[in-house]
Amino acid sequence: MIMDSALAVEIIKKVENPDGVMSVMASAGHYAGHLGVFFLLVVSVYIYIRLFTEAITNKDKE
């Protein structure tokens, strides 16, 4: 509960200071951007592996 009230005080300080809100939003967007890039990287690697293994299995069938 102490953590929650401290967090609430921080949020209220940020709300009273618009620049603080913008910095919080910017850092949140920054982390979201990193997660998005990481997600795209994982998906692309997964697709490449799927295509590669599919090509190998198709060669074996012939």
Cα(31)–Cα(46) distance, integer angstroms = 23
> What global pTM score does this model have?
0.45
pLDDT value at residue 50 = 92
Q: Give pLDDT tens digits along the chain (62 positions).
A: 556 777 677 766 666 666 666 677 777 777 777 888 889 999 999 999 999 998 888 877 66
What pLDDT does 2 receive?
59
* CB-based burial, 3-22: b 16+ in 10 Å, e otherwise: eeeeeeeeeeebeeeeeeee
Q: What pLDDT sits at residue 59? A: 75
Q: Please state the domain extents for the chain.
A: 2-61
